[in-house]
Amino acid sequence: MQDPRREPEPRTVVITGASSGIGQATAEAFAREGARLVIAARDASALELVAERCRKLGAEAIAVPTDVTRPDEVAALARRALDFSGSVDIWVSNVGVGAVGAFHEVPLEAHEQVIRANLIGHINDAYAAIPIFLRQGHGIFVNMISLGGFAAAPFAAAYSASKFGLRGFAEALRGELAPYPRIHVCDVYPAFVDAPGIVHGANYTGRQLSAPPPLLDPRRVARVIVGLARRPRPTTMVGLPTAAVRLGHAISPELSTRLMAGFLRSYFARAPQAAPSSGNLFAPPADPGGIDGGLRSPDQRGAATVALAGLALAGGLALALGRPRRRLPRQGMGRGR
């Protein structure tokens, strides 16, 4: 029997996509909790910098350069984690990329790479993690999805396909693992996050990309993930826009998608020009960028109010148009024949 006076063993946490943004913020948040960290991403030098920051926060941490689209590298990551600690308690599947542009103008290989990273990459993570959890009898698999898992994103068709697919994959996996009460699959759906990924993503629109306010701090999302490590639950939405978008899409998917497409067309017409780029799809960015994307500003408070009002209006309009109309009874039709 374990001595209750002994300090509990630190948990081992694997985090993919840990070289910047939400992944880096999550690594640092777990480091403050005293976890043993195994962090992974394609960029070895950026990854080692994050590992060093975690060590300075008092955690044991190793960096394992990994491309999650390659199942052999993900399997090797799992082996390194077991060699490092002997177990894996939490696996945060965090890799996510995007390609923005009209579907027929985005190169087919870009669409394919988005699916490989955002969907197949998470499947590779789960394929490595779940057998470990089953042998141990416990484990938490955290899927970083996005509000794009609830509502389609026009001009990001492959991204939408990957996020819808990832939500379905996670739900199916939870069904299979239901007989194992100490194994959890937790989906996280943040709204737009002020992380470097927005600027690093592939852009075939010819216009500079940004994101509508209110933008989440990646550290807030990281705190949610750490909270799930304590109290796992299947679905967690982060940020009011996620709930608003989910509601609007549930009421009238066609209308909400058209409203979003109209909003994006209007934005592209006004945004400054930019050269097309494949961004970080096929190689790590030259500058990983740290945790923050630099898109938030004090002016966004007013803009956030306008954006949220627009979401509420869109949801109300969808509700009004999606509600079936009642027919008034005709005069003299009260009797049966």
Active site residues: 159
3-state secondary structure of 326: coil
- Residue where the block lists tokens 């999805």: 145
Check the CA dihedral 238-53-81-21 and report its sign.
positive
User: In the numeric block, which tokens belong to residue 112?
Assistant: 């394919």
3-state secondary structure of 136: helix
Check the CA dihedral 166-123-182-4 and report its sign.
negative
Cα separation, 326 vs 32, in Å, equals 58
Cα separation, 257 vs 263, in Å, equals 10
> What is the C-alpha radius of gyration for the chain, rounded to an integer number of angstroms?
22
- Residue where the block lists tokens 């007013």: 302
